[in-house]
Amino acid sequence: MVDGDTIDIAIGGNTERVRLIGINTPETKHPTKGVECFGPEASAYTQQLLPAGTALRVERDIEARDKYGRLLLYVYIAQSNVFVNLDLVLQGYARPMVFEPNTAHKADFAQAATQAELRNVGLWQACR
């Protein structure tokens, strides 16, 4: 686990760095932004949601990789079918962030953010 919206996964015997599409968690390791409000909490939640060895199901959108070479994926926990990208927004650990042309779940993320803000959870409560 790298931070709240970037994870490392094992695929075919290789480790791949994955950027969760459509969301953005507050920074914890950015070289110029430093640690942002609710960043450590978002990273801890992602780590708790995806402990090492968690079986995943992944989906691509239009682009396979970003300019940093990271895979761009929608990630689901195989056993429970929890949609990790959406869960992070719904629980208030991430905000939607549009990565054109990868927008298959754009409306779902926007709706989840509205719900989280209305419930005043996570970063919506801590970072006003």
- The one catalytic residue among 16, 17, 59, 70: 70
* pLDDT score, position 115: 97
Total domain count for the chain?
1
More confident residue, 108 or 11: 108
- The one catalytic residue among 19, 57, 95, 119: 19
CATH number (domain holding residue 97): 2.40.50.90
Q: 54 vs 17, 39, 83, 93, 104, CA distance in Å? A: 15, 22, 13, 20, 24
Question: Catalytic annotation on 16?
Answer: no
- Within a domain: 53: yes
Element (H, E) at 111: helix 106-119
Which phi and psi angles does 69 have, rounded to 5°?
85, 5
**CB contact at 8 A, 72 and 19:** yes
- Least confident piece of the model among 8-17, 69-78, 103-112: 8-17
Structure pTM? 0.93
Question: Catalytic annotation on 70?
Answer: yes
Interval 48-94: pLDDT, tens:
999 999 999 999 999 999 999 999 999 999 999 999 999 999 999 99
Domain around 72:
6-126
pLDDT band at 27 (very low <50, low <70, confident <90, very high): confident
- The one catalytic residue among 16, 17, 27, 41: 27
- Within a domain: 1: no
Question: Catalytic annotation on 65?
Answer: no
Q: 93 vs 16, 35, 117, CA distance in Å? A: 23, 14, 11
